[in-house]
């Protein structure tokens, strides 16, 4: 699984760099300021402060690094179809210009993150609303002579910090989806150029592997439709639009049952023919035959009475026995 590992390393180093940069450049200062203003009872100023939470400066400062990682992800994907040799890939040999989907990856990532930051702001706003309500209530009780205590907002900074940590999850998602799509894009471009009409999906099989990916491991699909879909996804500048036109496969029991019975044509129609199958997906595309037949799980309907985790453990055990 060396190939999956290098893809995961790329994605994690991108996510970590962006997250640390965002904390240093933006998040920590704003959380500190909003907490100080809140503790001083200046609630509207505190709320104005959390509106300043933004990924924009981080993306701008790291544009070159994101472009580099995008290029590496694409090259890595191509190398899955050149027996792991990067120097033999189309791009490294100068046989193709840098594709638009790669060039635009940093801007697409920024568009996605700008939507996510609004949810982070809303969560921080909720923390401030609750703290303000608590303070008002304490002040009223004090005025009524019930309690003579200055309202102390316990742990406001730590609550704000927790709300803001969800920004880290947004960065993880954006980094994963971007690198995963670019690796698939590279793999498909190289496969097409090689004249290989089909590819196989290779997943990491461990206890974290979801029911969707366990079913997709080893499956074989056509290159042409997958290449067109991946290219389109990379050129979609509005990630919300993408989320509504290409929903992820459902991991509910019913969703998994349906997925198991779908034909390859149906899966292709839904866009569920190549990774990513969700954010955080570790699947990659490899030449047909690279996935050992013994590691492919043959699925029987999920046994009743098992929890999702128990069913997963049973499936993995049968795959690795």
* Minimum CB distance to Zn ion, residue 203 (Å): 7
Q: Which is nearer to Zn ion, 159 or 282 (CB)?
A: 282
Q: Which is nearer to Zn ion, 124 or 212 (CB)?
A: 212
* Minimum CB distance to Zn ion, residue 212 (Å): 5
Q: Which is nearer to Zn ion, 50 or 210 (CB)?
A: 210
* Minimum CB distance to Zn ion, residue 308 (Å): 13
* Minimum CB distance to Zn ion, residue 179 (Å): 15
Q: Which is nearer to Zn ion, 76 or 210 (CB)?
A: 210
User: 124 exposed, middle or buried (CB, 10 Å; 0-12, 13-18, 19+)?
Assistant: buried
DSSP state of 278: S
Binding site for Zn ion (CB under 5 A): 210, 213
Q: How many Å apart are CA 282 and CA 80, to the nearest integer?
A: 14
Q: Which is nearer to Zn ion, 6 or 180 (CB)?
A: 180
Residues 6 or more apart whose CB falls under 8 angstroms from that of 284 comprise 3, 4, 7, 77, 80, 183, 184, 187, 201, 202, 275
Q: How many Å apart are CA 179 and CA 186, to the nearest integer?
A: 10
Residue closest to 154 by CA, chosen among 134, 169, 180: 134
Q: Which helix (H) or strand (E) holds 285?
A: strand 284-287
DSSP state of 298: P
* Minimum CB distance to Zn ion, residue 209 (Å): 6
Q: Which residues pair with 287 in a beta bridge?
A: 199
Interhelix angle 28-39/156-194, nearest 10 degrees: 160
Are 264 and 273 in contact, with CB atoms under 8 Å apart? yes
Q: Which is nearer to Zn ion, 131 or 201 (CB)?
A: 201
Residue whose entry in the numeric block shows the structure tokens 């899955």: 80
Q: How many Å apart are CA 197 and CA 294, to the nearest integer?
A: 23
Q: Which is nearer to Zn ion, 8 or 213 (CB)?
A: 213
List, edge to edge, every strand of the sheet that includes 220-222: 220-222, 198-202, 284-287
* Minimum CB distance to Zn ion, residue 213 (Å): 3
């Amino acid at each position: 699984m060396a190939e999956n590992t290098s893809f995961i390393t790329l994605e994690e180093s991108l996510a970590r760099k962006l997250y640390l940069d965002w904390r240093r450049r933006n998040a920590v200062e704003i959380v500190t300021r909003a907490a100080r203003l809140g503790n001083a009872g200046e609630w509207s100023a505190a709320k104005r402060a959390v509106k300043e939470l933004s990924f924009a400066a981080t993306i701008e400062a790291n544009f070159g690094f994101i472009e580099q990682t995008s290029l590496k992800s694409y090259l890595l994907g191509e190398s899955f179809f050149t027996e792991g040799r990067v120097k033999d890939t189309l791009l490294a040999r100068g046989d193709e210009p840098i594709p638009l989907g790669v060039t635009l990856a940093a801007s697409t990532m920024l568009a996605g993150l700008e939507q996510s930051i609004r949810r982070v702001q809303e969560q921080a706003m909720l923390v401030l609303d609750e703290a303000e309500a608590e303070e008002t209530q304490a002040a009223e009780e004090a005025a009524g002579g019930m309690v003579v205590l200055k309202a102390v907002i316990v742990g406001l900074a730590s609550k704000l910090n927790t709300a803001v940590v969800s920004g880290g999850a947004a960065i993880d998602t954006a980094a994963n989806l971007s690198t995963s799509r670019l690796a698939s894009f590279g793999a498909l471009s190289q496969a097409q150029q090689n004249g290989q009409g089909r590819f196989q999906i290779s997943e990491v099989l461990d206890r974290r592997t979801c029911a969707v990916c366990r079913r997709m491991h080893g499956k074989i699909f056509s290159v042409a439709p997958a290449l067109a879909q991946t290219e389109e996804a990379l050129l979609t500048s509005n990630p919300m639009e993408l989320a509504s036109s290409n929903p992820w496969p459902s991991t509910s029991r019913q969703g998994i049952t349906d997925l198991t019975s779908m034909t390859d044509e149906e899966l292709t129609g839904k866009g569920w023919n190549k990774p990513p199958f969700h954010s955080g997906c570790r699947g990659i595309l490899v030449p047909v035959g690279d996935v050992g037949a013994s590691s492919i799980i043959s699925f029987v309907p999920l046994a009743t009475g098992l929890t999702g985790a128990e069913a997963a453990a049973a499936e993995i055990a049968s795959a690795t026995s």
